[in-house]
């Protein structure tokens, strides 16, 4: 069964702290996406990770991909309130020519 899991599903953290969101999946894949959804808004693409060992960084967010472990991480450094949103990973499934979304991690950064 194709499964994409995220951990944690809900995260409340203080400004200035670091934390990591995990995305693991159950089938072979070599491409993974991270999206952000602000409250009441639609999804926006954050990162595309195209190969094993890929690392992308944008501001306080850094994403990485380990295809052998079937795991991607989204690391938050020195969180600020503006990062409060729901973060989705989406795993490319070549066989089915589509991506499968994880359930999302709702992040709340508290001043």
Partner 1 sequence: GAGVSQSPSNKVTEKGKDVELRCDPISGHTALYWYRQSLGQGLEFLIYFQGNSAPDKSGLPSDRFSAERTGGSVSTLTIQRTQQEDSAVYLCASSLSSGRETQYFGPGTRLLVL
**44: CB partners within 8 A, 6+ apart:** 35, 36, 37
- Which of 68, 69, 97, 111 touches partner 1 by CB under 8 A? 97
Considering the complex, what minimum distance in angstroms separates the CB of residue 102 from partner 1? Answer: 7
Specify the DSSP class assigned to residue 95: G
Considering the complex, what minimum distance in angstroms separates the CB of residue 71 from partner 1? Answer: 19
Considering the complex, what minimum distance in angstroms separates the CB of residue 43 from partner 1? Answer: 4
Radius of gyration of the chain (CA): 13
Q: Which of residues 36-95 bind partner 1 (CB under 8 A)?
A: 41-45, 48, 88, 90, 92-94
C-beta closer to partner 1: residue 25 or 33: 33
Closest CA to 91 of 10, 32, 9, 18: 32
């Amino acid at each position: 069964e194709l499964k994409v899991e995220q951990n944690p599903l809900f995260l409340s953290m203080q400004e200035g702290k670091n934390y990591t969101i995990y995305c693991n999946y159950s089938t072979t894949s070599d491409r993974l996406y991270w999206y952000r959804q602000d409250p009441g808004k639609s999804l926006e693409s954050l990162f595309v990770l195209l190969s094993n060992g890929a690392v992308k960084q944008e501001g306080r967010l850094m994403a990485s991909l380990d295809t052998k472990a079937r795991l991607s991480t989204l690391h938050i450094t020195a969180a600020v309130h503006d990062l409060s949103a729901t973060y989705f990973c989406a795993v490319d499934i070549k066989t089915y020519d589509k991506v499968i979304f994880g359930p999302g991690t709702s992040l709340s950064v508290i001043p």
